[in-house]
């Protein structure tokens, strides 16, 4: 697999979820998996190492900050370096995860005569254009040109898929999901024990958020809504860097909410999902930071479905089509409608049956359609490469 800035952590292994799931899938099919990654900053990590039975190759090619020309030159250099690594591996197939390295993947495909698959995690040109319209336009032209050499394209949701369909490119939606196995369920003994250890009482209603506590996640809004909500409604934030934890903890303290807001900081994958199983309601209320957000289908909506809890989401088309229209496991709201969000939280906290029904529907939809096992079945329909060797 070609990937941009693929990272690892010695305690938790590979840390880019989508390539990690693909790597595990390919290993079970009988492949030796190699991840070839462009590292853009100085690193103390070795050039080559084996993590979780996958070989990680790091191609270090530094990128000067805030320079379109500098980044373009670095991209040219890294394509050659990555091409050299991949042709030396002699793979049976290539999955490219980023348009920045797609040219090198195309060159390797032509040299080796193997299938090439392109995995578009987001509308990359549109995302880049938010900060640099010139670079975004350049990436769009590059992607459209190189995509003709790809055997099949994968993406995370229907909105981005439409772009590739308009170009006449075969595309399959593979959601940013997770396996349905080993996931703690809401109400399980493990989840209940954790709730007790966190100091929650019977009758408390836990509004939760999982993931990076970024400004776009509207965490400050959730904290500021609490004083107007009943005292039994608590906020549990599963995740966050140390500096972010400190910032939001200080905000909660300034509002005298330190007994109603709990922030965990970084967690392992299992710890994170056990905390999610403590939630009564999961938040995926995201700010519309750019038009690119309209097509986001974040991991957390599938994590909430996996543990069987209802969710509040922003009324963005792709999320809404999954959570509300199809799975019927959540409520979609305008992320700027704070009064509407507050009243919906209150209404859900007072109607446990409504919450329970939505949570159960979410889990059923997850098992039937959205879990990673179902995504693997989609791969198998695309190309013989994704069938057991």
Burial 209-226 (b: 16+ CB within 10 A, else e): bbbebeebbbbebbbbbb
Q: Who contacts 27 (Cβ-Cβ below 8 Å, separation ≥6)?
A: 33, 53, 54
Q: Pick from 153, 277, 123: which is nearest to 206 by CA? A: 277
Tell me, yes or no, whether 366 and 218 share the same domain.
yes
- Residue 226 maps to a domain: yes
Tell me, yes or no, whether 78 and 116 share the same domain.
yes
pLDDT of the residue at 7? 39
Query: Which of left, alpha, beta for 203 (phi over 0: left; psi -120 to 50: alpha)?
Result: left
Average pLDDT across each block of 10 residues of the chain; the chain has 389 residues. List them in order: 44 58 93 92 89 91 83 88 94 92 94 95 85 87 95 94 94 94 90 96 96 93 97 97 95 96 93 96 92 87 97 96 98 97 98 96 97 95 90
Tell me, yes or no, whether 121 and 9 share the same domain.
yes
Tell me, yes or no, whether 354 and 283 share the same domain.
yes
Tell me, yes or no, whether 90 and 207 share the same domain.
no
Tell me, yes or no, whether 381 and 346 share the same domain.
no
Q: Which tens digits make up the pLDDT trace of 250-280?
A: 999 999 999 999 999 999 888 999 999 999 9
Tell me, yes or no, whether 24 and 160 share the same domain.
yes
For residues 380 and 373, the answer to whether their CB atoms sit within 8 Å is: no
* C-alpha span between 327 and 137 (Å, rounded): 36
**Greatest CA separation for the chain:** 65
The domain in which residue 18 lies consists of 2-177+372-386
Tell me, yes or no, whether 225 and 365 share the same domain.
yes
Tell me, yes or no, whether 267 and 135 share the same domain.
no
Burial 84-117 (b: 16+ CB within 10 A, else e): ebbeeeebebbbbbbbbbbbbbbbbbeebebbbb
- Residue carrying the six token digits 């300034």: 254
- Residue 351 maps to a domain: yes
- Residue 182 maps to a domain: no
Instruction: Give the chain's domain count.
Output: 2
- Residue 183 maps to a domain: no
- Residue 184 maps to a domain: no
Tell me, yes or no, whether 99 and 234 share the same domain.
no
Tell me, yes or no, whether 193 and 265 share the same domain.
yes
Q: What is the CATH number of the domain that holds 143?
A: 3.40.50.2000
* C-alpha span between 342 and 346 (Å, rounded): 6
pLDDT of the residue at 18? 84
Tell me, yes or no, whether 11 and 45 share the same domain.
yes
């Amino acid at each position: 697999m070609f990937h941009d800035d693929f990272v690892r952590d010695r305690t938790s292994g590979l840390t880019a979820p989508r390539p990690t799931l693909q790597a595990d899938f390919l290993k079970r099919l009988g492949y030796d998996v190699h991840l070839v990654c462009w590292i853009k900053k100085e690193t103390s990590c070795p050039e080559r190492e084996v993590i979780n039975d996958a070989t990680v190759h790091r191609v270090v090619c530094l990128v000067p900050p805030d320079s379109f020309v500098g980044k373009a030159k670095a991209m040219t250099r890294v394509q050659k370096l990555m091409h050299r690594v991949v042709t030396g591996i002699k793979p049976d197939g290539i999955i490219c995860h980023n348009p920045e390295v797609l040219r090198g993947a195309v060159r390797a495909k032509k040299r080796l005569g193997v299938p090439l698959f392109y995995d578009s995690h987001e509308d990359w040109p549109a995302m880049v254009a938010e900060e640099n319209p010139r670079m975004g336009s350049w990436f769009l032209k590059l992607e459209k040109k190189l995509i003709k050499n790809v055997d099949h394209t994968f993406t995370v949701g229907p909105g981005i898929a439409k772009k590739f369909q308009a170009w006449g490119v075969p595309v399959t939606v593979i959601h940013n999901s997770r396996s349905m196995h080993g996931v703690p369920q809401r109400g399980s003994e493990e989840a209940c024990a954790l709730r007790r250890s966190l100091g929650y009482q019977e009758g408390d209603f836990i509004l939760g958020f999982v993931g990076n506590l970024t400004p776009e996640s509207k965490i400050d809004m959730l904290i500021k809504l609490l004083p107007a909500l009943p005292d039994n409604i608590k906020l549990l934030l599963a995740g966050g860097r140390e500096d972010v934890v400190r910032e939001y903890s200080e905000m909660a303290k300034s509002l005298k909410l330190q007994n109603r807001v709990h922030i965990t900081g970084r967690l392992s994958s299992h710890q994170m999902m056990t905390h999610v199983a403590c939630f009564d309601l999961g938040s995926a209320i995201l700010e519309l930071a750019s038009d690119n957000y309209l097509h986001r289908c974040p991991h957390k909506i599938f994590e909430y479905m996996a543990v069987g809890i209802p969710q509040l989401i922003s009324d963005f088309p792709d999320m809404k089509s999954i959570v509300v229209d199809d799975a019927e496991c959540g409520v979609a709201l305008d992320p700027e409608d704070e009064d509407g969000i507050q009243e919906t939280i209150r209404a859900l906290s007072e109607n446990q049956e409504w919450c329970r029904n939505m949570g159960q529907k979410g889990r059923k939809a997850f098992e039937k359609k959205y879990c990673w096992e179902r995504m693997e079945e989609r791969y198998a329909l695309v190309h013989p490469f994704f069938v057991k060797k």
